[in-house]
């Protein structure tokens, strides 16, 4: 499970804007540059930052995608090349950041969270930093190379609207992809919840509580990414920046609608989950009741009978009943009468 506090507090006392690499990520940094306009597409994978910067001055839309954040120098030099503020670069490297939107005049800086998944299991969060300029989009990802795959396909395709439109539409398409990613994660979550619910009705297994708790934690993680995302998309949709054109705003507001929908579904799931906790706890206590009832009934019937047997097991010399010929069958009769009376009583009280 993804941790909540990854790498917090490691920078106390350092000057702001001091760039620190992310530990333990040793893969090479992948840089990918896609330039396109209505006429054509050109894809490159430059090895050095200088190559990236050389590709800058074209009249096409340029998308620079950097996957891997452990090489501080790459981030720093691209940042310098595009005139990005040092605080932005610092935020790009802090993968523990919450989604936000910052307007630096000639470029917008967006932080988003998506989820890396494998076989329906969420592996980890993936922070995506998007810098949206007038004709370029720079994205910084942690490691999920597949996330924007369908987007690449749409750019490559000739008929797509994306090739006719500007960098703001590209950034919108990324937002859309990320929100769709949430839809998928939520759908999986919804299925897990439905399975768990069915399991709960059948038999309140011992692990149910743990699973509910783990689902709750995953939802907390989703919420942490979603609520600020809503603000981000909402702010973008208000059209305060010149970088997002009127035409694109409609699409951004559509994404906003989807974000609200995701959040509402998440909140609904939370309500369902807490309802399930009630059911679980009540089922447990119901089983307990069942067991105690059986114990109570068995005990209540046999304790008086055993007492009677005990009485006639006493060794007093002078016990006339013992010598009476019909003593034994009469005692059996009495015991059976007591037992049936009690059973009838329990039936009446609806205990049986």
Please, which of residues 121-140 interact with its own copies by CB under 8 A? none
Identify the residue among 28, 44, 73, 184 touching its own copies (CB under 8 A).
184
Radius of gyration, alpha carbons of the chain:
34
16 binds its own copies (CB under 8 A): yes
Task: Give the nearer residue to its own copies in terms of CB position, either 48 or 334.
Answer: 334
Minimum CB separation of residue 352 from its own copies in Å reads 11
DSSP strand E in 227-275: where? none
Task: Give the nearer residue to its own copies in terms of CB position, either 59 or 310.
Answer: 310
Task: Give the nearer residue to its own copies in terms of CB position, either 49 or 84.
Answer: 84
145 binds its own copies (CB under 8 A): no
- Chain positions 188 to 217 lying near its own copies, rule: CB under 8 A, are 190-191, 201, 203, 206, 209-210, 213, 216-217
> Is residue 33 helix, strand or coil?
strand
245: left (phi over 0), alpha (psi -120 to 50) or beta: beta
Minimum CB separation of residue 250 from its own copies in Å reads 6
Q: What is the DSSP letter of 144?
A: -
- Chain positions 22 to 81 lying near its own copies, rule: CB under 8 A, are none
Task: Write the interaction track for its own copies spanning residues 223-262; mark x where CB under 8 A is met and - where it is not.
Answer: -x-------------------------xx--x--x--xx-
Count other Cβ atoms within 10 Å, centred on residue 323: 8
Task: Give the nearer residue to its own copies in terms of CB position, either 108 or 173.
Answer: 173
CA 155 – CA 169 distance, rounded (Å) = 11
Closest CA to 230 of 267, 277, 284: 267
Task: Write the interaction track for its own copies spanning residues 70-99; mark x where CB under 8 A is met and - where it is not.
Answer: ---------------x-x--xx----xxx-
Identify the residue among 328, 337, 341, 352 touching its own copies (CB under 8 A).
328
CA 306 – CA 225 distance, rounded (Å) = 66
Over the range 303-321, which residues count as b (16 or more CB within 10 Å of their CB) and which as e? Answer: eebeeeeeeeeeeeeeeee
Contacts of 16 (CB under 8 A, 6+ apart): 86, 87, 90
Closest CA to 336 of 309, 314, 311: 309
CA 217 – CA 107 distance, rounded (Å) = 35
348 binds its own copies (CB under 8 A): no
336 binds its own copies (CB under 8 A): no
Minimum CB separation of residue 347 from its own copies in Å reads 14
Minimum CB separation of residue 133 from its own copies in Å reads 19
CA 107 – CA 2 distance, rounded (Å) = 31
321 binds its own copies (CB under 8 A): yes
Contact (Cβ atoms closer than 8 angstroms) between residue 34 and residue 41: yes
- Chain positions 277 to 316 lying near its own copies, rule: CB under 8 A, are 277-282, 284-296, 298-300, 302-307, 309-316
């Amino acid at each position: 499970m993804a941790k909540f506090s990854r790498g917090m507090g490691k920078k106390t006392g350092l000057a702001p804007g001091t760039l620190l690499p992310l530990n333990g990520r040793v893969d090479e940094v992948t840089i990918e540059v896609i330039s396109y306009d209505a006429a054509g597409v050109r894809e490159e994978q430059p090895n050095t930052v200088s190559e990236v910067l050389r590709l800058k001055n074209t009249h096409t839309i340029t998308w620079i995608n950097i996957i891997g954040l452990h090489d501080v120098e790459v981030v720093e030099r691209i940042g310098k090349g595009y005139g990005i503020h040092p605080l932005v670069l610092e935020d790009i490297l802090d993968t523990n950041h919450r989604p936000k939107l910052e307007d630096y005049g000639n470029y917008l800086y967006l932080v988003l969270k998506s989820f890396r998944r494998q076989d329906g299991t969420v592996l980890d969060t993936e922070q995506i930093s998007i810098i949206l300029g007038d004709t370029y989009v720079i994205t910084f990802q942690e490691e999920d190379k597949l996330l924007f795959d369908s987007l690449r396909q749409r750019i490559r395709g000739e008929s797509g609207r994306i090739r006719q439109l500007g960098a703001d539409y590209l950034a919108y398409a990324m937002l859309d992809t990320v929100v769709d990613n949430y839809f998928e994660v939520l759908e999986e979550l919804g299925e897990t919840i439905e399975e768990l619910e069915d399991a709960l009705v059948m038999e309140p297994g011992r692990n149910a509580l743990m699973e509910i708790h783990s689902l709750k934690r995953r939802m907390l993680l989703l919420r942490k990414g979603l609520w600020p995302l809503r603000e981000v998309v909402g702010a973008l949709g208000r059209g305060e920046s010149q970088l997002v054109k009127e035409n694109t705003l409609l699409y951004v507001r559509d994404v906003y609608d989807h974000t609200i929908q995701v959040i509402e579904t998440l909140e609904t799931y939370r309500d369902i989950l807490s309802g399930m906790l009630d059911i679980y706890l009540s089922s447990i206590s119901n089983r307990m009741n069942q067991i105690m009832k059986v114990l109570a009934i068995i005990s209540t019937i046999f304790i008086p009978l055993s007492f009677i047997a005990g009485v006639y097991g006493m060794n007093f010399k002078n016990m006339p009943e013992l010598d009476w010929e019909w003593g034994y069958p009469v005692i059996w009769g009495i015991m059976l009468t007591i037992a049936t009376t009690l059973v009838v009583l329990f039936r009446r009280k609806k205990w049986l």
